[in-house]
Amino acid sequence: MRYILRVNMSDLAITKEDLPAKWERYGGRALTSAVVFEEVPPTSDPLGAENVLVIAPGLLSGTNTPNGGRLSIGAKSPLTGGIKESNAGGQAANGLGRLGIAAIIFSGKPADESARYMLTIEADGAASMSRVDEWAGEGNYETADAIKALRPEGDRCSTITNGPAGEAGFKAAGIAVSDMKGYPNRFAGRGGLGAVMGSKGLKAIVISDKDLSTPEHADKEAFSAAIKTFSAALKEHPVSGQGLPTYGTNVLTNILSEAGGLPTRNFSNGSFEGAEATSGERQREITLERGGNVQHGCHTGCVIQCSRYWVDKDGKYKTKGPEYETVWSFGANCGINDLDAIAELDRTCGDFGLDTIEMGATMGVYMDSGEIAFGDGAAALAALKSVFGEGKPGRVMGDGTEATGKAFNVEHIPVVKHQALPAYDPRSVQGMGVTYATTTMGADHTAGYTVTANILKVGGDIDPLKPEGQVELSRNLQIATAMLDALGLCIFVAFPVLDIPEAFTAIHEMAQAHTGDTWDVDALMQLGKETLVYERLFNERAGMGPEDDRLPAFFKNVELPPHNVTFQVSDADLDTVFDFVPEVAAGMGLA
């Protein structure tokens, strides 16, 4: 039986309660969004006591499900002002799953704003709070080392930590999750949830699952058969079985630049002359030359193995990846073609606890202001460090792209719902424009990854330069993605799922064999729809309307080289993306 662990940060009370029957089929994003919808006043202060921070493993996390160890963290976002679920890899989701914890819900906030606390959950389920004021202001790596020194020899634990950016309340602050080696380098980066964690005085969470086995299955034999089918599909598909394992997520740099969809120098061009120098192919070559790791999973049970470690010229660990989104944000978007410079910016963000997508987009608008030059990696690093030091742009950078763009009078600020656009220009990948504009999360590529059919020709072939078919594509992928997030599945399983029918069948077979409930394709899609209903209704009640489901005007008015196209999907069509919500909401009793 899964249970909820509640922690009241006002009085440090810790209580356990059974997972309500109405949420028994929920995990991950479905559960975080349901809790936020029910328990957070939509117009409340995101950094106030009324907000909650919800940490939930997927429904299948903790099992042997291939690529099933993703973690969802949810709250009202300080950045977007709406609901937020930020997703991370790392070991924490599997640890929570093995403990039987469906969610940890943090409420309230300490009266003493200088207090710092750590929640420790032992393998026997015992949970306790301890005060760690001496860690205030420490980076994520120093905090992880301090935790390691406290743990008994031979322990197996994961950590969730908050860097100084979250403690300072920066709207671009994320939350770090440890990987298989204990590095705090997997991030729930988007939406400023690190600031919510900081507002609650929470510095760290430790989750021990030493000697714990995977949860029991309702039908072990059927579950084993389903995971074999699913694993085989992941290995068979050319993207998840070849491209991603060989070159990591950065396999996309050359592909997007050649397609004219790689946002360059603050979204002023779709191709980057330095793409080859920052590509996954070049990244692999350098890493191998230096003796680094070029292929591993971000959590146990990963079959795709798209993670890697970047090492410096002396062969010493520097940071994860860097992943494609980070290479783009500090690379093409800033005109920087030096992977070492990009890795240094990535490491700094990781230690501070800042979202690299938001910060790279922020750096792009700062460069566009003329304060520093595009391509100047040293100046970019100095600007990034100014959030805690002297010089420009200072603290405003920690609040993200929109705040920085406005402070420095930049005309083109690439945000939706106040959150920066990621690494696909919506003019040359029109389906991503639909997702950016309409997703409940603010501009977010993972919410409905239309690069599948638009660029990679996975699950279909829809012309990325034309508006036809983009709304339906985005809608279906947003529903499917919400479902995958609820189950704890990595977004990259979508590649085989879209092309290999047996892979999709295996998902509901795994869910059914594990839970004992009845699952089929319709039930999976219903799970995704219900998740989106909670999110859309929350945002509506927080004051968001159709005008918030729009891209900035320059995407419609300024042509993007090399294709010289603009975003062409009409506002009327954007308004149909969530036309299923009223009916589903009525069926849920939420109308």
Q: Are both 256 and 132 inside the same structural domain? A: no
Q: If we measure between CA atoms, which residue out of 19, 81, 27 comes closest to residue 531? A: 27
Q: Give the pLDDT confidence of 252-306 residue by residue, as tens digits.
A: 999 999 999 999 999 999 999 999 999 999 999 999 999 988 899 999 999 999 9
Q: Give the pLDDT confidence of 483-522 residue by residue, as tens digits.
A: 999 999 999 999 999 999 999 999 999 999 999 999 999 9
In a domain, 413, yes or no: yes
Q: Are both 368 and 310 inside the same structural domain? A: yes
Is pLDDT of 198 > 90?
yes
pLDDT of residue 165: 98
Q: Are both 410 and 324 inside the same structural domain? A: yes
Q: Are both 169 and 284 inside the same structural domain? A: no
Is pLDDT of 401 > 90?
yes
pLDDT band at 29 (very low <50, low <70, confident <90, very high): very high
pLDDT of residue 337: 98
In a domain, 178, yes or no: yes
**Rounded CA gap, 27 and 40, in Å?**
18
pLDDT band at 478 (very low <50, low <70, confident <90, very high): very high
Are the C-beta atoms of residues 36 and 196 closer than 8 Å to each other? no
Is pLDDT of 170 > 80?
yes
Are the C-beta atoms of residues 68 and 569 closer than 8 Å to each other? no
Q: Are both 308 and 198 inside the same structural domain? A: no
**Rounded CA gap, 248 and 240, in Å?**
10
pLDDT band at 319 (very low <50, low <70, confident <90, very high): very high
Q: Are both 297 and 375 inside the same structural domain? A: yes
Q: Are both 190 and 276 inside the same structural domain? A: no
Where a domain ends, among 160, 178, 208? 208
Are the C-beta atoms of residues 188 and 88 closer than 8 Å to each other? yes
Note if the bond before 322 is cis, omega within 30 degrees.
Answer: yes
Count up the domains in the chain and report the number: 2
Q: If you average pLDDT over every residue of the chain, what do you get?
A: 97
Residue 274 sits in a domain whose CATH number is 1.10.569.10
Q: Give the pLDDT confidence of 97-116 residue by residue, as tens digits.
A: 999 999 999 999 999 999 99
**Rounded CA gap, 437 and 67, in Å?**
28
Written as six digits, the tokens of 522 are 């319709």
In a domain, 288, yes or no: yes
DSSP-derived 3-state class of residue 100: coil
pLDDT of residue 399: 98
Pairing of strands 157-161, 415-416: unpaired
Q: Are both 145 and 47 inside the same structural domain? A: yes
**Rounded CA gap, 173 and 171, in Å?**
6
pLDDT of residue 390: 86
Q: Give the pLDDT confidence of 416-462 residue by residue, as tens digits.
A: 999 999 999 999 999 999 999 999 999 999 999 999 999 999 999 99
Pairing of strands 117-121, 202-208: parallel
Are the C-beta atoms of residues 249 and 306 closer than 8 Å to each other? yes
Instruction: For the beta carbon of residue 517, count every other beta carbon within 10 angstroms.
Output: 11
Is pLDDT of 219 > 80?
yes
Q: Give the pLDDT confidence of 139-160 residue by residue, as tens digits.
A: 999 999 999 999 999 999 999 9
In a domain, 308, yes or no: yes
**Rounded CA gap, 265 and 84, in Å?**
28
In a domain, 278, yes or no: yes
pLDDT band at 591 (very low <50, low <70, confident <90, very high): confident
Q: Are both 279 and 170 inside the same structural domain? A: no
Where a domain ends, among 425, 459, 492? 425
Q: Are both 278 and 406 inside the same structural domain? A: yes
Measure Cα distances from 252 to 276, 279, 451 in Å. Answer: 11, 8, 10
Percentage of the chain beyond pLDDT 90 is: 98
**Rounded CA gap, 503 and 509, in Å?**
10
What does the CA dihedral 483, 489, 494, 497 come to, rounded to 10 degrees?
A: -90
Q: Are both 11 and 146 inside the same structural domain? A: yes
In a domain, 578, yes or no: no
In a domain, 558, yes or no: no
Where a domain ends, among 208, 238, 260? 208
In a domain, 311, yes or no: yes
Residues in the chain, total: 591
- What residue numbers bound the domain in which 317 lies? 248-425
Q: Are both 413 and 267 inside the same structural domain? A: yes
Q: Give the pLDDT confidence of 341-391 residue by residue, as tens digits.
A: 999 999 999 999 999 999 999 999 999 999 999 999 999 999 999 999 888
pLDDT of residue 293: 87
Q: Give the pLDDT confidence of 50-81 residue by residue, as tens digits.
A: 999 999 999 999 999 999 999 999 999 999 99
**Rounded CA gap, 250 and 282, in Å?**
10
Residue 32 sits in a domain whose CATH number is 3.60.9.10
pLDDT of residue 1: 81
Q: Which helix (H) or strand (E) holds 320?
A: strand 317-320
